[in-house]
Amino acid sequence: MTAAPRGRGGLADEVCRRIADEIALGLLAPGTRLDEVTLAGRFAVSRTPVREALKQLATMGLVVYRRNRGALVASMTPAELDQMFEAIGELEAACARHAALRLTEPERQRLGELHAQGRLAMQAGDVERYAAVNLELHAAIIAGCHNPALIELTNGLRERVASFRRTQFRHIERIAESYAEHTAIVEAILARDVVTAYREMRSHLLAARNATSRVAPQWATPQSK
Amino acid sequence: MTAAPRGRGGLADEVCRRIADEIALGLLAPGTRLDEVTLAGRFAVSRTPVREALKQLATMGLVVYRRNRGALVASMTPAELDQMFEAIGELEAACARHAALRLTEPERQRLGELHAQGRLAMQAGDVERYAAVNLELHAAIIAGCHNPALIELTNGLRERVASFRRTQFRHIERIAESYAEHTAIVEAILARDVVTAYREMRSHLLAARNATSRVAPQWATPQSK
DNA sequence: AGAAAGCATCTTGTATGCAATATCATCGCT
DNA sequence: AGCGATGATATTGCATACAAGATGCTTTCT
């Protein structure tokens, strides 16, 4: 018996969630080896649920499996990061377009409030708070498409790049840029302007990817120089 | 010992692939109970790799897990099917747009050849062949975006609805419609017309979803009537 | 006779054990 | 001294064993 009577949906899912969180938070850096016995010890379970969790994480793309050689936290080349951001851009832009037409009145209100909170955080120079509000704003738009399949896909992709973009607001001027882009997106959505919402969200994601490159040069796409 | 020394990448992945294939082919109907011991017996392995396979399939969305009650082949309500097709439409349209700009010359040639093969199959009234060519054509366009992340996402979604669209060409007139839509898409891609390629692919997917409804009324979206 | 409770059986969830493969260090050779 | 081979160690992959929960049936009471 393993102490926990039933955390939620079985130990494997619990372990999966906790490892996923640690990866997203950057506690487990890309490339980190995920030893089964170590993890089993850390979570006070046997190897079986850990293995099942790692398999799930591999399917999600958060870890990579090398045959008979164990699991590693997924790492990405700059080119792969570009591709991830491109895919996220396509998906979030689609979400924004649908959100422009489908947002309920309470959701529209909340969108405006979140954007206002972002403005306050920006004016206060509170980087952490702006990052948190940014996350919530994007989540609100994504959820606003009212299509569970799209929502899951988009959030899944965002989770995979989460650890690579934690530093995107390190340069204070990026916050102002981000806020300006958010303004264009939010106004378009509230005006039910599907074309603008789509276009602005796509360019916003491109800008976010470039911001990540500027802050973390090791993830920048090598330019022909 | 289990006879096979190394099918490919471990028994769990092998079992996962085979079950996924059977689901996509409709051999395992939506809602079918997936008993671990039965599957283990069928594939001549123990329950361990079967469980890992089922967990992976659950993460992919091909099966659903009910806590302590086992796995079922995922089934979808008509509304969920609509949402899936909407998501696929967004993704494939994005792929088509990128393909219009990124296709290499050999890829462009192959796209034209595939479309020509579809015309031959249509003229011959060969439904099976048209369905096969249709699959290849879409795969070529998806792969043509040259973005592994987008490709994987799109193919993953397509796999999840595969069993629900196997009958989409049962009405012969749908083949002619499909071919006409393909013509618009292929011509736009070859002309590097990103806007048209995107728009036509989206409407093509909507039409495909409607065709599925017409052929299989049990999956149709209930209309207000 | 119908319904509820209790019991037997089955299935899943987790832990442990064993075999196979990869990793690493040492040793030998050129 | 550098490089390759060989054996020891560690880790993964799979199988089996055991426990907890779910399913279904029988039994019993009203």
Instruction: Give the chain B residue whose CA is nearest to the CA of A96.
Output: B90
Establish whether the CB of A47 is closer than 7 Å to any nucleic acid atom in strand C: yes
Residue B1: inside a domain, yes or no?
Answer: no
A10: Cα within 13 Å, side-chain hemisphere: 15
Q: What domain range includes position A52?
A: 11-73
Torsion of CA B224, A198, B202, B95, to 10 degrees: -150
* CATH number of the domain within which B28 lies: 1.10.10.10
Q: Provide the CA B54 to C1' D18 distance, Å, integer.
A: 22
The Cα of B172 is separated from the nearest Cα of chain A by a number of Å equal to: 30
Q: Pick the last residue of a domain from A73, A95, A112.
A: A73
Residues B202 and B154 in one domain: yes
Residue B223: inside a domain, yes or no?
Answer: no
Interior/surface letters B107-124, b for 16+ CB within 10 angstroms, e for the rest = bbebbeebbebbeebbee
B64 vs B71: CA distance, rounded Å: 6
Instruction: Work out the angle between the directed axes of helices B78-102 and B194-215 (0-180°, nearest 10).
Output: 150
The Cα of A3 is separated from the nearest Cα of chain B by a number of Å equal to: 18
Predicted complex ipTM:
0.90
In the A/B pair of chains, how many CB contacts fall below 8 A? 67
B70 vs B59: CA distance, rounded Å: 14
Residues A186 and A209 in one domain: yes
Residue A146: inside a domain, yes or no?
Answer: yes
Number of structural domains in chain A: 2
What confidence tens digit (pLDDT) does each residue in B24-62 have?
999 999 999 999 999 999 999 999 999 999 999 999 999
Residue B222: inside a domain, yes or no?
Answer: no
β-bridge partners, A101: none
Chain A residues touching chain B at CB-CB below 8 Å = 9-10, 12, 48, 51-52, 55-56, 58-60, 67, 80, 83-84, 86-87, 90-91, 94, 147-150, 153, 157
Residues A121 and A47 in one domain: no
Residues 65-94 of chain A within 7 A of strand C, judged by CB, are 67-69
Residues B88 and B56 in one domain: no
What confidence tens digit (pLDDT) does each residue in B69-87 have?
999 999 999 999 999 999 9
Establish whether the CB of A147 is closer than 7 Å to any nucleic acid atom in strand C: no
Q: What is the pLDDT along chain A (225 residues), one digit of tens a residue?
A: 333 445 567 899 999 999 999 999 999 999 999 999 999 999 999 999 999 999 999 999 999 999 999 999 999 999 999 999 999 999 999 999 999 999 999 999 999 999 999 999 999 999 999 999 999 999 999 999 999 999 999 999 999 999 999 889 988 899 999 999 999 999 999 999 999 999 999 999 999 999 988 777 676 766 653
With CB atoms and an 8 Å threshold, state whether A83 touches B59.
no
Residues A146 and A37 in one domain: no
Which among B9, B52, B153 has CB closest to A153?
B153
Establish whether the CB of B52 is closer than 7 Å to any nucleic acid atom in strand C: no
Going by C-alpha positions, the residue among B82, B202, B154 that lies closest to residue A87 is B154
